[in-house]
């Protein structure tokens, strides 16, 4: 039953609205009336709340996860109970889950996907270091906040869902389930790595690698079917990222990354050295270790509701449904989805059940004969256990690979090999480790002796059991690690001990978070008293003044009248933010350390910088504090929790001139300088030291003051790039075409003839015009266009009697002699005729000014050549790149303006006279490489 808005839990949490409902819990948006903040509250379903064993595990798991504090993990603030209703108070993250993001946006770009995966990996790395394995990583459990922060949600919750509850919690996970989970084997951190690999696969391709008509079919594909390389679906995917995904999703956990730390190392290499081949994949065939059971066996067992791994008691089996693979939950989902075939399937399932019972009887007979109840497959070697890196203790419910292999039936032609009893430590374990015994049902004193004998520490917790419980008083009900796991020596193991002692009372757990007065009242209700002395300790999660612990501890047994010492929270440890705005990076770190802030672990410098007129370049411009899912500006002098993550943003650095000489990517160099805040001009000129098309000199705007590489400049400085170019020889006019072309070929200058018509006899015609004129530096891909005439009687018509006079003003308005074209035909003695090279300035005052030609949709190189050929100086032409819908071709011109903006009032329309000295801004469509 859903809670109504306005409901208040434990006089503190006010329900505001429903966020969503799942198979195991309902989630609400709520207000914490004590700390005045918004929170999310997950309330267990009523059918689960009535299960005492499930509730005990639920609370212990939530408390363990609550100890985690990481910016990439949804925080757990509190665990509570009211009238038999159990709930968890969590950080409220406003945003969208990754699944919805992918469904909406499609496949993600590689850089974006890697950034998301890295943040997920960092959160999981922190959890794994505490021995906590998520086991349900999927896009639905990855939240993208409104600020772009990635959060991993639902730690340790889905793993406890029972096969007897609603099946929706398992349904979403089967696409991301690891092979060992699908087989029912125990799993460890490498299962999270597999699921993250599948999630990353979906991020870059837009689809999951395995799909099918039923959850059983999908789970079996994870076990048996090779994964399709993601590069086949996303051809632009880099080889290294593809190999990272394939390594994460190896069928055999031994061939995956050993830890999230190792995975993060390769992610960082991918960013820093993307071209280096650094991902090591196992040899071909290693990904098929023959660990999968036959499809028929899996279907029989799962449809019969039988887990491939047998457990010690029904309650434990029920609380480990997710461990047991897709199990009966999947079968129930199949019933819901295929209801019309219910009768037919029911008959089939009954057959499977009978077959399953027969299989179990056969197994028991074989086990009795061979005295090897734990190992039924002698042909498979023992699997090496995984231990969380650099962890000597681990919270309850940590999962590691057991030393037993998955349930299989050995061939009838081979006798099973006997193995040591399950309770005996395996001597082949690495030095410094021990295999944990199965202690459930054993007398607690005997269990303690065995653990201490094996070199492990013991912690006892009492658990009240009903009168009809199968567990006798003082026997072990549960243990904090699964039997058969490998543990480091001196690891603490918690044992839960059964008791029915009506005379003993359990110290209530709900005193945590209460005031001293409230806790005292609760203790007195159960017959206990509050000790006169109290203790105070810092707590990052319990508010100051509230009870954070007790001695004897909560959950333990005590006789009536026992005094209980309350341990009161003094709140989190704090530090005062120092005034560091305007400090250099080194000065800021030193000041924060002096203030007691853990700068080595909780300080991050943002990669982006911001402009500032207040502070010097490369100094602190902004300090932000992150805690509990919220980011705010940190003000000097305020006190902050020591768990706070500080983000520092620096001011923009002053631009430093990069190495430019010899570069031929002129547009890229210009864009790079402009992004640094510099203004760029181009000048083409002859150079003896650099081939055409390369930058041969860098100067200030005067064109003569050299700027050496590495010079620090102020933003707005004008930088002139001198481009080496071929120069059109002077004196070509009135040469024979044969002489002129020989000279051009010797200089390596490309040429063509006007209208594409070459003379039949180059010796019989002379050059009447060249474009561009002599002395002009050619742009990239530009050529000389030759116009010629015959050398016969000047009254004889030329090859182009009508075209030259009309084209002369627009093609070469400032370089031709003042006479019209027909007059160039009259002289018969070329030696006496003045050439355009000899008289470059005479016609300048009389020739008409150039006008803007048509430009829409033309290539920038073509328009640039025409404008400069008309006499427009190259330094007066400014090229800007943008995006055009009407002209989507790469490098297509879509607007020409008299100002540096696409504004209709300032458009230079075709036919407009181009006044000397006025800038011409040409806007070109930019098409980025995919």
**Burial of 310 by CB count in 10 Å (0-12 exposed, 13-18 middle, 19+ buried)?**
middle
**Pair 499, 476: CB distance under 8 Å:** no
Encoded tokens for 797: 């018509």
Encoded tokens for 363: 């197994």
For residue 106, the Cα-to-chain-centroid distance in whole angstroms is 15
What is the C-alpha separation between 175 and 392, in angstroms, rounded? 33
> What single-letter DSSP state applies at residue 320?
T
What is the C-alpha separation between 410 and 378, in angstroms, rounded? 8
Instruction: Supply the Cα-derived Rg of the chain in whole angstroms.
Output: 40
Neighbours of 340 (CB within 10 A): 7
**Burial of 532 by CB count in 10 Å (0-12 exposed, 13-18 middle, 19+ buried)?**
exposed
Distance (Å) of CA 599 to CA 61, 365, 603, 627, 736: 31, 63, 5, 15, 79
User: How many helical (H) and strand (E) elements, i.e. helices and strands, does the chain have?
Assistant: 22, 35
What is the C-alpha separation between 838 and 834, in angstroms, rounded? 6
What is the C-alpha separation between 289 and 183, in angstroms, rounded? 14
CA atoms within 13 A on the CB side of 160: 25
**Structural element, H or E, at residue 550:** strand 547-551
> What is the largest distance, in Å, between two alpha-carbon atoms of the chain?
135
Encoded tokens for 768: 């009447």
Q: Which residues of 749-776 are buried (b: 16+ CB within 10 A; e: fewer)?
A: bebeebeeeebeebeebbbbbbbbbbeb
Neighbours of 790 (CB within 10 A): 17
Tell me which residue of 526, 525, 510, 507 sits closest to 565, measured CA to CA: 507
> Quick one: CA torsion of 203, 209, 212, 215, rounded to 10 degrees?
-80
What is the C-alpha separation between 736 and 789, in angstroms, rounded? 9
Tell me which residue of 648, 762, 778, 781 sits closest to 724, measured CA to CA: 778
| Residues 6 or more apart whose Cβ sits within 8 Å of residue 505 | 526, 527, 528, 557, 558, 559, 560
Encoded tokens for 478: 């549960």
| Residues 6 or more apart whose Cβ sits within 8 Å of residue 583 | 591, 619, 620
Which entry of 32, 78, 136, 482 is annotated as an active-site residue?
136
Residues forming beta bridges with residue 752, ordered by sequence position = 785
What is the C-alpha separation between 570 and 540, in angstroms, rounded? 9
State yes or no: is 665 an active-site residue: no
Distance (Å) of CA 369 to CA 358, 375, 380, 410, 907: 17, 13, 19, 13, 95
Distance (Å) of CA 595 to CA 305, 426, 638, 844: 60, 51, 12, 73
Per DSSP, helices labelled H in 595-717 are 599-602, 666-675
Residues forming beta bridges with residue 39, ordered by sequence position = 30, 91
What is the C-alpha separation between 80 and 634, in angstroms, rounded? 32
What is the C-alpha separation between 348 and 300, in angstroms, rounded? 10
Active-site residue set: 136
């Amino acid at each position: 039953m859903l809670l109504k808005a306005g409901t208040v839990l434990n006089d503190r949490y006010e329900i505001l609205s429903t966020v969503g409902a799942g198979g195991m819990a309902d989630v609400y948006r709520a207000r914490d009336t004590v700390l005045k903040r918004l929170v999310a509250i997950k309330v267990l379903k009523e059918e689960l709340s009535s299960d005492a064993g499930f509730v005990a595990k639920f609370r212990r798991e939530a408390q363990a996860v609550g100890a985690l504090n990481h910016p990439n993990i949804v925080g757990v603030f509190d665990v509570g109970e009211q009238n038999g209703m159990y709930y968890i108070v969590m950080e409220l993250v406003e945003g969208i889950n990754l699944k919805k993001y992918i469904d909406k946006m499609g496949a993600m770009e590689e850089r974006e996907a890697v950034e998301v995966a890295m943040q997920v990996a960092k959160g999981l790395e922190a959890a794994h270091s505490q021995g906590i394995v998520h086991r349900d990583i999927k896009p639905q459990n990855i939240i993208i906040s409104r600020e772009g922060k990635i959060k991993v949600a639902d730690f340790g919750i889905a793993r406890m869902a029972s096969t007897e509850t609603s099946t929706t919690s398992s349904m979403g996970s089967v696409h991301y389930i690891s092979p060992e989970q699908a087989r029912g084997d125990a799993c460890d951190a490498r299962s999270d790595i597999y699921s993250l690999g599948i999630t990353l696969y979906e991020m870059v391709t837009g689809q999951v690698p395995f799909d099918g008509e039923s959850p059983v079919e999908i789970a079996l594909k994870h076990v048996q079917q090779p994964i399709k390389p993601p590069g086949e679906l996303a051809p632009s995917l880099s080889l290294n990222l593809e190999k990272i995904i394939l390594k994460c999703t190896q069928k055999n956990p031994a061939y995956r990354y050993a830890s999230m730390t190792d995975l993060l190392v390769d992610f960082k290499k991918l960013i820093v050295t993307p071209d280096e081949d650094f991902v090591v994949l196992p040899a071909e065939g290693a990904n098929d270790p023959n660990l999968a059971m036959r499809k028929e066996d899996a279907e029989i067992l799962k449809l019969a509701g039988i887990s491939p791994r047998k457990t010690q008691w029904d309650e434990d089996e029920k609380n480990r449904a997710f461990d047991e693979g897709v199990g009966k939950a999947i079968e129930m989902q199949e019933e819901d989805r295929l209801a019309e075939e219910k009768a037919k399937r029911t008959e089939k399932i009954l057959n499977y059940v009978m077959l399953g019972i027969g299989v179990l009887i056969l197994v028991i007979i074989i086990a009795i004969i061979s005295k090897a109840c734990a190992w039924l497959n002698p042909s498979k070697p023992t699997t090496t256990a995984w231990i969380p890196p650099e962890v000597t203790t681990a919270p309850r419910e940590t999962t590691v690979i057991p030393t037993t292999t998955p349930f299989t039936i050995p061939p009838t032609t081979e006798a099973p090999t006997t193995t040591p009893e399950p309770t005996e430590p395996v001597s082949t374990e690495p030095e410094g480790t021990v295999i944990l015994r199965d202690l459930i049902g054993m007398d607690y004193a005997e269990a303690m002796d065995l653990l201490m004998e094996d070199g492990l520490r013991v912690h006892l917790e009492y658990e009240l059991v009903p009168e009809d419980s199968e567990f006798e008083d003082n026997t072990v009900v549960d243990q904090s690690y699964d039997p058969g796991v490998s543990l480091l020596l001196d690891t603490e193991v918690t044992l839960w001990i059964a008791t029915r002692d009506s005379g003993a009372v359990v110290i209530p757990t709900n005193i945590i978070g209460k005031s001293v007065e409230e806790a005292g009242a609760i203790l007195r209700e159960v017959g206990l008293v509050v000790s006169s002395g109290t203790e105070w300790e810092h707590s990052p999660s319990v508010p100051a003044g509230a009870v954070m612990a007790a001695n004897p501890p909560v959950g333990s047994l005590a006789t009536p009248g026992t005094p209980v010492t309350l341990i009161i929270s003094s709140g989190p440890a704090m530090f005062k933010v120092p005034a560091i705005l305007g400090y250099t990076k080194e000065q800021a770190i030193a000041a924060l350390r002096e203030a007691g802030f853990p700068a080595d672990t909780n300080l991050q410098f943002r990669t982006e910088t911001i402009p500032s007129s207040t502070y010097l370049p490369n100094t602190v411009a902004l300090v932000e504090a992150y805690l509990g899912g919220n980011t705010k500006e940190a003000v000097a002098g305020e006190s902050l929790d020591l768990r706070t993550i500080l983000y520092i943003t620096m001011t923009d650095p002053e631009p430093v001139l990069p190495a430019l000489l010899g570069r031929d990517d002129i547009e890229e160099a210009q864009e790079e300088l402009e992004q640094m805040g510099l203004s760029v001009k181009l000048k083409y000129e002859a150079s003896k030291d650099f081939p055409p098309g390369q930058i041969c000199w860098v100067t200030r705007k005067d064109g003569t003051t050299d700027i050496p590489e590495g010079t620090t400049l102020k933003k707005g400085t004008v930088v002139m790039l001198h481009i080496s170019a071929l120069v059109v020889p002077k004196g070509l006019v009135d040469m024979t075409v044969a002489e002129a072309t020989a000279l051009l070929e010797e200089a390596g200058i490309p040429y063509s003839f006007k209208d594409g018509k070459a003379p039949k006899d180059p010796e019989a015609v002379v050059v009447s015009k060249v474009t561009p004129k002599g002395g002009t530096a050619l742009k990239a891909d530009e050529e000389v266009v030759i116009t010629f005439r015959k050398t016969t009687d000047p009254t004889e018509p030329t090859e182009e009697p009508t075209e030259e006079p009309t084209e002369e003003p627009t093609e070469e308005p400032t370089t031709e002699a003042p006479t019209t074209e027909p007059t160039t035909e009259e002289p018969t003695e070329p030696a006496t005729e003045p050439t355009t090279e000899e008289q470059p300035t005479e016609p300048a005052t009389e020739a008409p000014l150039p006008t803007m030609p048509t430009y829409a949709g033309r290539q920038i190189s073509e328009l640039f050549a025409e404008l400069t050929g008309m006499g427009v100086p190259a330094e007066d032409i400014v090229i800007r790149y943008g995006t055009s819908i009407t002209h989507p071709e790469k490098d297509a011109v879509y607007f020409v303006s008299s100002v540096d903006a696409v504004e209709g009032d300032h458009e230079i329309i075709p036919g407009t006279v181009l006044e000397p000295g006025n800038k011409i801004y040409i806007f070109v469509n930019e098409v980025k490489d995919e």
